[in-house]
Amino acid sequence: MQNLKVYNSLSGKKEVFKSIEKKFVGIYVCGPTVYNKVHLGNCRTFISFDLIYRYFKHLGYKVRYVRNITDVGHLEDDSENAEDRIIKKARTEKIEPMEVVQLYTVDFHKTLSLFNILPPSIEPSATGHIIEQIEIVKSIIKKGYAYEINGSVYFDVSKFDNSYKYGKLSKRNIEDLISNTRNLDGQSDKKNPHDFALWKKAEPQHIMRWKSPWSDGFPGWHLECTAMSRKYLGEKFDIHGGGLDLKFPHHECEIAQSEAINDGKECVRYWMHSNMLTLNGKKMSKSTGNSILPEEIFNGKNSLFKKEFSPEVVRFFMLQAHYRSILDISEDALLASEKGYKKLCDAISQLSEIETNKETTGFDVTKWISNCYGALNDDFNSPILIAKIFDAVKYINSLNTGIESINKNDFKLLEEKIKFFFHEILGLNLIKSKSKTKENNYIEELINLIIDIRNKARFDNDFETSDKIRDSLLKLGVKLKDSKKGTEFKID
């Protein structure tokens, strides 16, 4: 089999994947800040890493997949008086911050489970790791890369940059950063505006606060991921992922924090970033109204799309793009995905009706399997995998119409693998085909009975009755088609 190649955002290249420990992969993906219903763009990130998680497990790795919950410290912006997003929500909704956290954690889990996203191996929360974060701040101070001022602790970016290199993930250099950052005189305790908080002293009215050597306060947002990834995956681990918007400053700051304690040693082997999701060609944004929630897509209650789309279809739509490409969601695109998804489900459902033959014609199953794996091994290229699967769908349809034939072994392989890619890797489920339900079989039998009665009338030259029956069926949406072979029907 081909080697798995992974695009490393740090090197900007696809690299052959080699795990640090044999047969073990540690993955850390930045999870949501639970102060609001989960954003559709976030869902794209978690669907992307769900496919990656599933594929690593299939390759036989023991995967420890850590995805955190940010429940403190994520401020509205970078200014000195910025408010914690969760506390702000708690204030506006007049509830306790941890009630906000619970409300949106429950919503997050529910939405992700509708998307058939597997739960991670560990889902640690920032407030659950305050001690660990305090320990890291202590270490960074000890190493000389952080300073305390008025009860808060800041990371000294310039000093770190002198020893090591700041900005290597986002390809920024410190000089540009310095010239691009506004220095708001007197508003900040920081030595330099590009320094970032490791620990913030809490104002008296601030509810979320913990004791620390510096003050009663709370950790800076970038700190939690460093603390939790080290705790559960070690000083250096295989993959760190997240949305592209987190590359700077969040991931850059994580690198600085880790390398500061590790004397400049690399903390992550592969950095992976999933790209943006736009809506109708524009950036999603609540303030401009160009925004939609997952549940609004599922229940059709929105002003953007004329109909509802199932979570399966939305997941399929997202996987039809590579995780590193910008993807635009629109009604037309979803309609196309829905159509394709149905076609795919139909073909898989019809596999059970295929009769095998002596010879396989028109398709090389072994080569097809190899191509599917080839797509996955090429940086988890799900759109190519899906295109390959549609090649198989086309072939299955021509087996059904008898244009091509397949032998037993090939069929077994094809059936097994197409189902495997569909269910296990893409994480999709078959739409219940209408024609398969008990009720629908019953409806067919009743219609056939009516057709029999009508044929009897036609045989007796009682065309008044036979026409009346045809018209009555038409009113119920049943169209009859008489031919030499007999009468066929179609339900609208």
The residues of the shown chain that bind a copy of itself, judged by CB under 8 A, are: 64, 95-96, 98-99, 101-102, 106, 109, 119-125, 127-128, 130-131, 135, 210-211, 232, 437, 439-440, 442-443, 445-447, 449-450, 452-453, 456, 465, 469, 472-473, 476
Q: Give me the long-range contacts of 39-42 (CB less than 8 A, separation at least 24).
A: 39/284, 40/277, 40/279, 40/284, 40/292, 40/293, 40/294, 40/297, 40/329, 41/243, 41/276, 41/277, 41/284, 42/243
Interhelix angle for 85-93 vs 97-114, to 10°? 100
Q: 119 or 144, CB closer to a copy of itself?
A: 119
Tokens of 121: 């191996």
46 vs 373 by CB, closer to a copy of itself: 46
Backbone angle region of 477, left / alpha / beta, with phi > 0 → left and psi within -120 to 50 → alpha: left
Q: Strands 282-283 and 5-8, how do they pair?
A: unpaired
Least Å from the CB of residue 490 to a copy of itself: 15
Could you tell me if 27 and 66 are in contact, meaning their C-beta atoms sit under 8 angstroms apart?
yes
Find the shortest distance in angstroms from Cβ 437 to a copy of itself.
7
Give 489's contacts (C-beta < 8 A, 6+ positions apart).
447, 451, 473, 478, 479, 480, 481
Residue 83: CB partners within 8 Å, gap ≥ 6?
75, 76
Q: What is the smallest separation between the CB atom of 8 and a copy of itself, expressed in angstroms?
A: 26
Q: By C-alpha distance, which of 223, 216, 217, 222 is closest to 136?
A: 223
Closest to a copy of itself by CB, 121 or 330: 121
Please, what's the b/e burial string for 266-298 (b: 16 or more CB within 10 A of its CB; e: otherwise)?
Answer: ebbbbbbbbbbbbbeeeebeeeeeebbbbbbbb
Q: Which is nearer to a copy of itself, 183 or 437 (CB)?
A: 437
Q: Which is nearer to a copy of itself, 99 or 346 (CB)?
A: 99
Instruction: Give me the least distance between CB of 138 and a copy of itself, in Å please.
Output: 10
Task: Quote the tokens at residue 404.
Answer: 């091509």
Are 218 and 68 contacting, i.e. CB atoms less than 8 angstroms apart?
A: no
Counting beta carbons within 10 angstroms of the beta carbon of residue 178, is it exposed (0 to 12), middle (13 to 18) or buried (19 or more)?
middle
- Report whether 274 contacts 305 (CB < 8 A): no
User: Nearer Cβ to a copy of itself, position 96 or 424?
Assistant: 96
* Smallest gap from residue 426 Cβ to a copy of itself (A): 22
20 vs 449, which CB is nearer to a copy of itself? 449
- Judge whether 101 and 86 are in contact, CB under 8 Å: yes
At residue 233, φ and ψ (nearest 5 deg) are -125, -10
State CA 470 to chain mean position distance.
50
Q: Smaller CB distance to a copy of itself: residue 282 or 434? A: 434
Report, in Å, the least distance between residue 326 CB and a copy of itself. 32
CA distance 44 to 60: 25
**Minimum gap (Å) between residue 447 Cβ and a copy of itself:** 7
If we measure between CA atoms, which residue out of 55, 122, 58, 120 comes closest to residue 319? 55
Q: Which is nearer to a copy of itself, 238 or 259 (CB)?
A: 238
Q: How far is the CB of 343 from a copy of itself (least distance, A)?
A: 24
Our CB check for a copy of itself shows the closer of 442 and 463 to be: 442
Shortest distance in whole angstroms from residue 308 CB to a copy of itself:
16
Minimal distance in Å, beta carbon 456 to a copy of itself?
Answer: 7
Kindly state the smallest distance separating residue 65's Cβ from a copy of itself, in Å.
Answer: 10
Taking the least distance from each CB to a copy of itself, the nearer of 63 and 157 is: 63
Q: Rounded distance, CA 403 to CA 410, Å?
A: 16
